[in-house]
Amino acid sequence: MNTDLHLVMHAIAIRKHGAAEDIAAIASVPLARTADLLASAVAGGRVLEANGRYLLSPAGQLILASEYSRFCDGLRANAAFVAAYERFERINVDLKQLITDWQTLELGGKRVPNDHSDRDYDQRIVDRLGDLHERFEPVLKALVGGAPRLKVYQKKLLAALDKAENGETAAVSDARSDSYHTVWFELHEDLLRLMGRQREE
């Protein structure tokens, strides 16, 4: 498998049912080249396509999994990248708690869904998100230093944070858009695959 095809298949694994533009951005492969590779991968049975969105076939999943060690050995041996990844995982614990606090709140001793009617409560969570992002920035910079392709997440996280700080509640955790949590989840999936690790439930 050539490098561009590996990156495109890797991107499909992260952005399931993604359009060609989404896949090209994550793969850091030009859109025209991505489109050609997608067409070839669909014809070869590695990728499934429906309404302009793509998903790995079972065979494609196996092929991709078998190729990671060859394409990622360098990163997995890069001490600075591994250290940055481990710092990411520590911050990820705080991010998960923050999202729980955003999606629910305590009322009468019970956790109930947050209807976002309490603007002061929401603002405190957004302020925490800003603090977390500030703490995460040097970690993300180190990750991008090892894998420049990850810069796409750098831009998207900052864009989502800006929207959240300007009062767009969907920018924090909406699953249907590039919210902070959605982009973070994709970055986590990307890193897990690069490092050959499993997501902890």
The stretch 101-107 carries a mean pLDDT of: 92
Q: What is the pLDDT of residue 86?
A: 97
Q: Between 151-165 and 180-195, two packed helices, what is the crossing angle to 10 degrees? A: 160
10 to 29, 68, 127: CA distances (angstroms): 12, 9, 33
Which amino acid appears at position 94 of this protein? D
Q: Which of 39, 61, 75 is nearest to 150 (CA)?
A: 75
- Residues 35, 166: Cα–Cα separation, whole Å: 36
pLDDT at 108 over 90: no
Summarize pLDDT for 47-87 with one digit per residue, the tens.
999 999 999 999 999 999 999 999 999 999 999 999 999 99
Summarize pLDDT for 90-101 with one digit per residue, the tens.
999 999 999 999
* Residue 32 banded pLDDT, cuts 50, 70, 90: very high
- Residues 184, 75: Cα–Cα separation, whole Å: 20
101 to 41, 80, 166: CA distances (angstroms): 42, 32, 19
Q: How far is CA 124 from the centre of its chain?
A: 24
Q: Would you call 28 helix, strand, or coil by DSSP?
A: coil
Q: What is the pLDDT of residue 107?
A: 84
Which amino acid appears at position 28 of this protein? S
Whole-model pTM: value is 0.93
Summarize pLDDT for 131-187 with one digit per residue, the tens.
999 999 999 999 999 999 999 999 999 999 999 999 999 999 999 999 999 999 999
* Residue 1 banded pLDDT, cuts 50, 70, 90: low
